[in-house]
Amino acid sequence: MKVSTLILYGCIFFTTFLPAEAIYKFDNSVEEKRFYSLISEIRCPKCTSGSIASSDVPVSRDLKQKVYELILTGSTDKEIKAYVTDRFGASSDYRPAFEGANYLLWFGPFIFLGILMLIFLSNRRL
Amino acid sequence: MSAIYRSLIILLPLIVLITYGTILIADKDDAFTYFESKELPQFDLQDLEDRKIDLAAFNGISLLNVWASWCITCLVEHPFLTQLSKNEITLIGLNYKDSQVKAKQWLGKRGDPYIFSIYDPRGDLAFDLGVTGAPETFLIFNQQIIGHIQGELNQEKWQSTFVPLINAVTQANQ
Amino acid sequence: MIGEIAHFLSLASALGLILLLIFNVFFYTYGKHKNQDILSYKLFHQSCLLIFISFGLYVYLAITDDFSISYIANHSNSQLPIFYKITSIWSAHEGSMFLWIVFLTLWSTLFISSLSLKHPLKKGTMLMLTIIILGFLLFLLITSNPFERILPFGVLEGADINPVLQDPALAIHPPTLYLGYVGFVISFSFITAYLFHGDINYPWEKDIKNWSFIAWIFLTIGITLGSWWAYYELGWGGYWFWDPVENVALMPWLAATAFMHSLFASSKSNILKAWTLFLGILIFALSLFGAFIVRSGIIDSVHSFANDPQRGLYLLGFSGFITLIALGIFAYRLPSMHSSKLIVTGSKESFLSMNNILMLTAIFSIFLGVTYPLIIEFINGDKVSIGPPYYNTIFAPLILLTSIFIMISLEALWQRGMQARTLLIALTPTLVISSLALYFIWYFVESFSLLAYVGIYSGLLIIISYLLKAVASIKNKTYLNKGSFVAHMGLGLLFFAISMNSILSYQKNVNLFLGEQQYINNSISEFKFLDLQNIKASNHDVISAEIFIVHDGQSIYLNPEKRKYFARGQITSETAIYATALKDTYLTIGDQLDDGSWTFSLQINYFIKWIWFSSALMVIGILMTIFKKKIS
């Protein structure tokens, strides 16, 4: 089968709206690692669960593309996360913010551990 | 001392039980709203008729409705939107990731409830708004976003989510 | 007709169990009857048998494409191979609940029949099991009836099952997992009966030890199968996402692991008995919690079954009811459980207690992560997402502490403390070797991640300390618990492999035309797009690419695919993986761009095989422990 026919089949086969680039080319390996790390921490806004790294729905693609562009233009990880949560809500970050009620979340396990250790050390009949 | 532990052993699971029971019974809504208002993002787009957009349209109360010709649920939502526009609610469309030709055809066939529709083929404004698909509707007051519904806008969601916000904001400004 | 018979048998079974309870209450109130016990057991086993026959008939209905049954019509299809017609039974709520109950019944009937007639706890355990089986059976028949018919006529063809579910690993994952979760109903019920009976001195640990170990094995295999499937099927190289449904499987596993260790100590010395009893109840309670979370729809997850708050309430209520009964009796008996001996600081028991505490903390962290978003959303509508960044951060220090305690407890003695100096001297070789190894790794690996290095060090501590122990035992001809050695090597390897995987693995998006060749990096010197085929299979279209890669000098041919299924228009991606001992070359097809070129996602995932191997080691270690007495 001719290569051109194959390509034609391919185009008809997958008639989804594609962004111009789904390539994410980096010259810098540090930036590349940052990219893959960030997209695994940003939640897909449309899916029931999962990061944008694991999702191919349109809004995930748009987000990945945006993260890519922001890295290239020099934004920090924090700035990129803020950019995303400003638009899609705080729930888009799989790392809960370290503030307010979330202190209970981050310190909770260690407080629990501390309490159990205290009980154990003071009452070693268990 | 051990009496405390013993009662905790019963109490803690009971608390878990009651907590989960309460959460389960509570009503969960598709819609969610902002509790603090957000500024309408800046954008550099034109409407479906290639005209410039006057931001003054967003003064007062208006609904910004995200729609597209490929969106099936938008068909379901359309009659209700038409009804709202007849009741003098200002409707502004945001045509999302669509072809200009197909969008205009869609409106021609089904009626245009919008005073105009922003043409956003790449979804730039939609992205800045946090749109994840169509349909979605934003409640806007004086260029501030005060409400947001994902999914179909119907009588029930209108009454329970948007109307109270509209009332609150009109009262506050009297 | 057969559907009605199967349905009737399940109802009859429920009736039998109800009668069983009524009889026992009657006899308890009005005085014993001569053959009361024998008749009770007969009734129990026969009711269990009815459930098996009912399920067997249901499997027959699925195999013979009875699409007048609503559930079979919705989840199966005449074109499916027989294997997948059977596995479609547990692909959704009603059928998987049925399977759950079948396993519950299976464990119960086997365990009860293994107890002699004179066993003081046989009756109590049977009654507790009856209540539990009955509760779930009624739940099934009333709210989630798998036998519901489509009236007046069935449909001619079933809805096509999700093609993603037509996979051997995914098909076996639920049954293995259920056998695991549900197996702990034995410890739950037996312990409750023991506590109710009140004879503290009865050696209960012996009776449930092997049953619990076997359940643990199934649970471990079930969780590993799920991870393995996710890795090769989902296409983005991950194997664990801290998804709520994964988390609710991990919690019973952690409790079960703590229980196994505690059981060992509890039978060796009376100390820790209360811990062990509590853990034995906790495991099944966590399994119940898991069933509730998955089936109530309270949590958004790709895994969860269709939501229904009513079902959720029943499950929550019933689970809470039986857990509170068990814990209530436990709390009541707690004073008489108390050991007269204090645990000596620095003894083996003290470290086992510490590890129990750490396991409980790990369970609590997961529970917190699952519950916190629900509570916050309920209180003020804010949505919080909790995922890998949270869990990894919390678990890293917990894992390090666990490893340190494992390392120290290897040196510790039963019921005797140790001098700090002696301990330090004993530990020095392990600490030195592990630190050197860590330094080497840091030297050769470019990237640094605190969490990953904590994980690597934890793994090293366990591996090195057990290896040194093994060497010493061979040299001095002292005793070495081989099963424990193998299982803990598995654990250390797991920590090590997971951490190494996270810092070494990387990903590249490659974009090229058919026939083109590219240089990717020093390691991947050649990436060539050889061929693109368009194939039509029975129920899907395929685009298949042939790629040639030279990776570290090795020539690899990979065939990733994209499939479009006719029935639902679903598009799936088939990953092509070339796995060696050290790393996996992992390739998926992306999209075709406007200019005709294609994108591919190439991942190099390190130490993946070691992760599966470590899980196998843990299972083998436990098997060795179970069969130890039989060998020697």
**What is the tens place of the pLDDT at every residue in C81-119?**
899 999 999 988 999 999 999 999 999 999 999 999 889
Which residue range is the domain that position A111 belongs to? 102-126
B9 lies in some domain: no
From first to last of the 126 residues of chain A, give the pLDDT tens digit: 444 444 443 433 333 434 444 678 888 888 998 999 999 999 999 888 889 998 888 899 999 999 999 999 999 999 999 999 999 988 899 999 998 889 999 999 999 999 999 988 877 654
Closest to C330 (Cβ–Cβ): which among B9, B17, B21? B9
Asked if A90 and C382 come within 8 Å (Cβ–Cβ), the reply is yes
Q: Which residues contact C565 (CB under 8 A, 6 or more apart)?
A: C160, C163, C539, C540, C571, C572
Which residue out of B12, B43, B127, B145 would a mutagenesis test of the A interface target, given it has the greatest number of A Cβ atoms within 10 Å? B127
Asked if C592 and A10 come within 8 Å (Cβ–Cβ), the reply is yes
Asked if B20 and C316 come within 8 Å (Cβ–Cβ), the reply is yes
Q: What is the largest CA-CA distance in chain C?
A: 88
Residue of B nearest to A44 (CA): B132
Residue for token pair 């899916």: A47
Per DSSP, the residues of C278-308 read HHHHHHHHHHHHHHHHHHH--S--TTPPPP-
C487 lies in some domain: no
Residues C387 and C301 both lie in one domain: no
Residues A30 and A57 both lie in one domain: yes
Quickly list H helices, C381-449. Answer: 388-411, 420-444
Chains that touch C (3 or more CB pairs under 8 A): A, B
A6 lies in some domain: no
Domains held by chain C: number: 4
Closest to A17 (Cβ–Cβ): which among B97, B130, B133? B97
**Shortest CA gap A77–chain C (Å):** 14
Q: C-chain residues within 8 Å CB-CB of B5? A: 334
Decide the pairing of beta strands B144-150 and C506-512. unpaired
**Shortest CA gap B80–chain C (Å):** 27
Do residues C396 and C455 lie in contact, with contact meaning Cβ atoms separated by under 8 Å? yes
Closest to B10 (Cβ–Cβ): which among C285, C312, C331? C331
Work out the angle at residue C571's Cα, subtended by the Cα atoms of residues C570 and C574, and round it to the nearest 5 degrees. 135
Work out the mean pLDDT of chain B and round it to a whole number. 89
Asked if B132 and A59 come within 8 Å (Cβ–Cβ), the reply is yes
Do residues C501 and C582 lie in contact, with contact meaning Cβ atoms separated by under 8 Å? no
Which residue out of A113, A117, A121 would a mutagenesis test of the C interface target, given it has the greatest number of C Cβ atoms within 10 Å? A113
Q: A-chain residues within 8 Å CB-CB of B123? A: 58, 62
- For residue B27, what pLDDT is reported? 63
Residues 24-43 of B with CB under 8 A from A: none
Chains that touch A (3 or more CB pairs under 8 A): B, C
ipTM, interface predicted TM-score of the complex = 0.89
Residues C147 and C7 both lie in one domain: yes
Residues A77 and A120 both lie in one domain: no
Separation of first and last alpha carbons in chain A: 75
CATH number, domain containing residue C324: 1.20.120
Q: B-chain residues within 8 Å CB-CB of C292? A: 20
Asked if B9 and C331 come within 8 Å (Cβ–Cβ), the reply is yes
Residues A108 and A88 both lie in one domain: no
Asked if C364 and A112 come within 8 Å (Cβ–Cβ), the reply is yes
Asked if A87 and B130 come within 8 Å (Cβ–Cβ), the reply is yes
B18 lies in some domain: no
Over residues B117-162, the pLDDT tens digits come to 999 999 999 999 999 999 999 999 999 998 888 889 989 889 988 8
Q: C-chain residues within 8 Å CB-CB of B6? A: 331-332, 334-335
Asked if C334 and B9 come within 8 Å (Cβ–Cβ), the reply is yes
Domains held by chain B: number: 1
Residues A114 and A77 both lie in one domain: no
Residues A64 and A88 both lie in one domain: yes
Residue of A nearest to B123 (CA): A62
Which residue range is the domain that position C99 belongs to? 1-166
Decide the pairing of beta strands C524-536 and C540-551. antiparallel
For residue A34, what are the CA distances in angstroms to A39, C15, C349? 9, 61, 45
Closest to A7 (Cβ–Cβ): which among C388, C564, C596? C596
Question: Which 3-state string (H, E, C) describes C362-387?
Answer: HHHHHHHHHHHHHHHHHHHCCCCCCC
Q: A-chain residues within 8 Å CB-CB of B133? A: 46, 58-59
Residues A39 and A90 both lie in one domain: yes
Domains held by chain A: number: 2
**Shortest CA gap C88–chain A (Å):** 23
- For residue C529, what pLDDT is reported? 94
Residues C281 and C377 both lie in one domain: no
A14 lies in some domain: no
Q: What is the largest CA-CA distance in chain A?
A: 80
Which residue out of A46, A85, A87, A125 would a mutagenesis test of the B interface target, given it has the greatest number of B Cβ atoms within 10 Å? A87
Q: How far apart are CA C497 and CA C538, in angstroms?
A: 40
B150 lies in some domain: yes
Residues C570 and C471 both lie in one domain: no
From the centroid of its chain, how far is CA A90?
A: 12
Q: C-chain residues within 8 Å CB-CB of B20? A: 292, 298, 316, 371, 374
Residues C511 and C453 both lie in one domain: no
Decide the pairing of beta strands B61-67 and B90-96. parallel
Question: Which 3-state string (H, E, C) describes C442-469?
Answer: HHHCCCCCHHHHHHHHHHHHHHHHHHHH
Residues C197 and C324 both lie in one domain: yes
- From the list A84, C374, C235, A38, the residue with the least C-alpha distance to B132 is A84
Residue for token pair 């990237």: C447
**Ramachandran assignment for C542, one of left (phi > 0), alpha (psi -120 to 50 degrees), beta (any other):** beta
Q: How far apart are CA C350 and CA C265, in angstroms?
A: 10
Decide the pairing of beta strands C583-592 and C571-574. unpaired
Residues A39 and A80 both lie in one domain: yes
- From the list C545, C544, C554, C541, the residue with the least C-alpha distance to C515 is C545
C352 lies in some domain: no
B24 lies in some domain: no
Give me the residues of chain C with pLDDT under 70, please: 160-161, 267-271, 300-307, 338-342, 629-632
B86 lies in some domain: yes
Quick one: DSSP state of residue C80? S
- For residue B97, what pLDDT is reported? 93
Q: How far apart are CA C85 and CA C83, in angstroms?
A: 5
Residues C231 and C246 both lie in one domain: yes
C581 lies in some domain: yes
Judged by a CB distance cut-off of 8 A, whether residue A59 touches chain B is yes
SS3 at position B174: coil
Asked if C316 and B24 come within 8 Å (Cβ–Cβ), the reply is yes
Residues A29 and A45 both lie in one domain: yes
- For residue B30, what pLDDT is reported? 43
Q: How far apart are CA B123 and CA A62, in angstroms?
A: 9
Q: B-chain residues within 8 Å CB-CB of A87? A: 127-130
C574 lies in some domain: yes
Residue for token pair 């299982």: C487
Strand order in the sheet with C598-606: C506-512, C598-606, C583-592, C576-579
Residues A106 and A91 both lie in one domain: no
Judged by a CB distance cut-off of 8 A, whether residue A88 touches chain B is yes
Q: C-chain residues within 8 Å CB-CB of A101? A: 376
**Shortest CA gap A29–chain B (Å):** 28
Which residue range is the domain that position B58 belongs to? 29-172
- For residue C480, what pLDDT is reported? 87
Q: Quickly count: other Cβ atoms within 10 Å of residue A3's Cβ.
A: 13
Do residues C283 and C192 lie in contact, with contact meaning Cβ atoms separated by under 8 Å? no
Closest to C327 (Cβ–Cβ): which among B10, B19, B26? B10
Asked if B24 and C285 come within 8 Å (Cβ–Cβ), the reply is no
Over residues C231-247, the pLDDT tens digits come to 998 888 899 999 998 99
Structure token pair of residue C251 = 């919690």
Q: Which amino acid is at B88?
A: E
Asked if A87 and B128 come within 8 Å (Cβ–Cβ), the reply is yes
Residues in chain B: 174
Cα-Cα-Cα-Cα dihedral of B129, B133, B137, B139, to 10°? -20
Structure token pair of residue C450 = 């605190």
- For residue C572, what pLDDT is reported? 86
Residues A71 and A87 both lie in one domain: yes
Q: How far apart are CA C398 and CA C410, in angstroms?
A: 18
A12 lies in some domain: no
Residues A31 and A63 both lie in one domain: yes
The HSE-up count of residue A17 (CA atoms within 13 Å, CB side) is: 13
Q: C-chain residues within 8 Å CB-CB of A31? A: none
Structure token pair of residue C90 = 């547990």
**Shortest CA gap C596–chain A (Å):** 6
B15 lies in some domain: no
Asked if A46 and B133 come within 8 Å (Cβ–Cβ), the reply is yes
Q: B-chain residues within 8 Å CB-CB of C378? A: 22-23, 26
Asked if B22 and C378 come within 8 Å (Cβ–Cβ), the reply is yes
**Cis link prior to B135 (omega < 30° from 0)?**
yes
Q: How far apart are CA C216 and CA C402, in angstroms?
A: 20
Q: How far apart are CA B42 and CA C440, in angstroms?
A: 53
Chains that touch B (3 or more CB pairs under 8 A): A, C
Q: Which residues contact C93 (CB under 8 A, 6 or more apart)?
A: C144, C295, C305, C306, C311
Residue of A nearest to B38 (CA): A86
Judged by a CB distance cut-off of 8 A, whether residue C372 touches chain B is no
B154 lies in some domain: yes
**Shortest CA gap B17–chain C (Å):** 6
A118 lies in some domain: yes
CATH number, domain containing residue B95: 3.40.30.10
- For residue C163, what pLDDT is reported? 79
- When computed from its CA atoms, the radius of gyration of chain A, rounded to whole angstroms, is 22
Residue for token pair 């007639």: C117
C181 lies in some domain: yes
Cα-Cα-Cα-Cα dihedral of C288, C292, C295, C297, to 10°? -160
Do residues B98 and B69 lie in contact, with contact meaning Cβ atoms separated by under 8 Å? yes
Using an 8 Å CB-CB cutoff, list residues of chain B that contact chain C. Answer: 2, 5-7, 9-10, 13-14, 16-17, 19-26, 32, 35
Q: Quickly count: other Cβ atoms within 10 Å of residue A5's Cβ.
A: 10
Residues A40 and A89 both lie in one domain: yes
**Ramachandran assignment for B68, one of left (phi > 0), alpha (psi -120 to 50 degrees), beta (any other):** beta
Cα-Cα-Cα-Cα dihedral of C11, C13, C16, C21, to 10°? -100
Q: B-chain residues within 8 Å CB-CB of A88? A: 130, 132
B11 lies in some domain: no
Residues 66-95 of A with CB under 8 A from C: 89-95
Residues C245 and C329 both lie in one domain: yes
A9 lies in some domain: no
Residue for token pair 């001095």: C476
Structure token pair of residue A26 = 């980096």
Containing H/E element for B120?
Answer: strand B116-120
